[in-house]
Amino acid sequence: MSLLEVEELEVAFPTSRGTVRAVNGLSFSIEASETLAIVGESGSGKSVAQLALLGLLPSSAQVRSQRIAFDGRPLDAHKLRGRELGIVFQDPLSALHPLLTVAEQLCEVLEVHEGLTRREARPRAQAALAEVGIPAPAERLDAYPHELSGGMRQRVLIAMALLGKPRLLFADEPTTALDVTVQAQVLELLASLRRARGMALVLVTHSMGVVASVADRVLVMYAGSVCECAPLERLFEHPQHPYTRALLRSVPDLARPLGTPLAPIPGQPPDPAALPAGCAFAPRCPRASPRCVAEKPLFDAHLGAACHHPGDA
């Protein structure tokens, strides 16, 4: 039994242009102690799916699924969030309250979920900062977010997410706002904490480089659906879906001769308010056939891809 099982998740938003289908029949699972990376272009539905699972979408969102289970039981995100489910948001400046100290924000987690007093919670908060590698944690507790560097603010968010001792941690683009050196430090921190705590990690990202450094399995999304899902090495060495291959080709490669142009993916993602009847990637796909335009491909569990013409050639 997987730690988290998601079957046919759908998320839609009513708008003046019609219904925007942000997530379309998303199914996946994650095992205990596993790192699953969810990757795709902006607008592919990665973050919306994560927020839906955590119960953090606005009330206007229309969320449906056949089944969402955590440890074999129906997922109750409101009861588990902050305890067995943790979340690290993309932008720490937006996620942290600018008028509250680090101590106030960390201690609040323990006050709400464990009923501790501020005095009882402060040593736990200090220990959490030390665990994520923040120097002089006792002093940092009394700092405000704007007094910390971007990397330190992200570490504070990670410490906050870990206070409840989650079994599953969601990280939404946790390195996007950081420079390359700090990105590597934060990714290594997440990987080491996952190993030390034995927790599962869902890492949402658009960077294949980030995926390669930490993931056990990779789920590739496009237009709200799964294109491909496979173990890391198999996906990088033998990608089955044309979109996955296009993503890999677009990554800068230091082994290429100097001056070699990047290989961007032609065209644009489809309008989520007017998705095509067939494969959403067909207008941009070099292998598209009339069948691709007319018929949406089903996900083949054996191949690990949803494509009428799979293959790694």
What secondary structure does DSSP assign to 21-56, as a single string?
EEEEEEEEEE-TT-EEEEE-STTSSHHHHHHHHHT-
Would you say 303 and 235 are in contact if contact means Cβ atoms under 8 Å apart? no
pLDDT value of residue 165: 93
186-232 pLDDT, tens digit each: 899 999 999 999 999 999 998 888 898 899 999 999 999 999 999 99
Confidence band (pLDDT; 50, 70, 90) for 255?
Answer: confident
pLDDT value of residue 262: 81
Nearest to 21 by CA among 73, 72, 63: 63
**Treating both helix axes as pointing N-terminal to C-terminal, what angle do 150-162 and 180-197 enclose, rounded to 10 degrees?**
20
> Where on the phi/psi map is residue 133: left (φ > 0), alpha (ψ -120 to 50), or beta?
left
94-153 pLDDT, tens digit each: 899 999 999 999 999 999 999 999 999 999 999 999 999 999 999 999 999 999 998 999
Query: In angstroms, how far apart are the furthest CA atoms of the chain?
Result: 67
Residues in the chain: 313
Strands 200-205 vs 35-39: parallel, antiparallel or unpaired: parallel
The pair of three-digit structure tokens given for residue 205, joined into one six-digit string: 């990202």
pTM, entire model: 0.93
pLDDT value of residue 32: 94
The pair of three-digit structure tokens given for residue 13, joined into one six-digit string: 């938003």
| Beta bridge mates, 74 | 69
Strands in 35-39's sheet, in edge-to-edge order, are 85-88, 168-172, 200-205, 35-39, 217-222, 225-231
- Neighbouring residues of 265: CB distance < 8 A, sequence distance ≥ 6: 41, 243, 246, 247, 250, 284
pLDDT value of residue 199: 96
**Residue type at 198?**
G
pLDDT exceeds cutoff 80 at 177: no
